[in-house]
Amino acid sequence: MSEKSNKQLVAEAFDAWAAGTGGVFDLLAEDADWTIVGNSVASGTYPTRKAFLDAVIYPFNARMSSPLVPSVRALYADGDTVVALFDASATVRDGSRYDNTYAWFLTMRDQRIVSAVAFFDSVEFNDFWARVQPA
């Protein structure tokens, strides 16, 4: 797939996420690995789509009272890699706001994300994760 096509595919997934009709995780291949860089409580490499969703995304969403909504600052494509720089925010179950900025490096193959490396504010994430229990 061309760079433009990969970038467009990711852009459409972010648009669907912002609209509440889908999202980037829908593009994950079953055997995709997802690495969270840094020192957050979720940092590490998850070897499959299921492992990542079960360990991070489902418990993350269970701490929210409204869906996380992304706002893309920029998308870049180079070969099979798409880089997404975006802000995301939501209302948390304790009534506070969760606001973070993310940079995701997504490796694409056959219209699927096969590998991802994610960066975000670990301090914000850790505070939220420890303070709010999942529903």
- Verdict on whether the full-model pTM lies above 0.85: yes
Q: 11-63, pLDDT tens digit by residue?
A: 999 999 999 999 999 999 999 999 999 999 999 999 999 999 999 999 999 99
- Name the CA dihedral angle for 31, 98, 88, 104, rounded to a multiple of 10 degrees: -40
Domain boundaries, the chain: 3-125
Residue 4: pLDDT band with limits 50, 70, 90:
low
Give which of 119, 106, 118 is closest to 27, Cα–Cα: 106
pLDDT > 90: percent of the chain:
97
The pLDDT of residue 3 is above 70: no
CATH number belonging to the domain at 3-125, selected among 3.10.450.50, 3.30.1490.20, 1.10.10.10, 3.40.50.300: 3.10.450.50
